[in-house]
Amino acid sequence: MKQLLSGLEHCHKQGVLHRDIKGSNLLIDSEGILKITDFGLSTSYDPEQKKPLTSRVITLWYRLPELLLGATHYGVGVDFWSAGCILAELLSGKPIMPGRTEIEQLHKIFKLCRSPSEEYWKKSKLPNETLFKPQQPYKRCIAETFKDFPSSSLPLIETLLSIDPKEQNTVTAALNSEFFMTEPYACNPSSLPKYPPSKEIDVKLRDEKARRQRNIAGKVNAVDVTRRSKGHERPTRAVPAPEANAEIQANLDVSVRLCYTSNCQLHLIRFKLIKFPSCIFLVM
* Active centre residues (catalytic): 20
SS3 for 60? helix
* Cβ atoms 17, 75 nearer than 8 A: yes
* Cβ atoms 87, 154 nearer than 8 A: no
Closest CA to 177 of 201, 202, 189, 159: 159
SS3 for 37? coil
Query: Which alpha helices (DSSP H) does 188-233 contain, by range?
Result: 200-231
Closest CA to 86 of 75, 95, 77: 95
Beta bridge partners of 254: 272
Q: How far apart are CA 65 and CA 102, in angstroms?
A: 9
SS3 for 269? strand
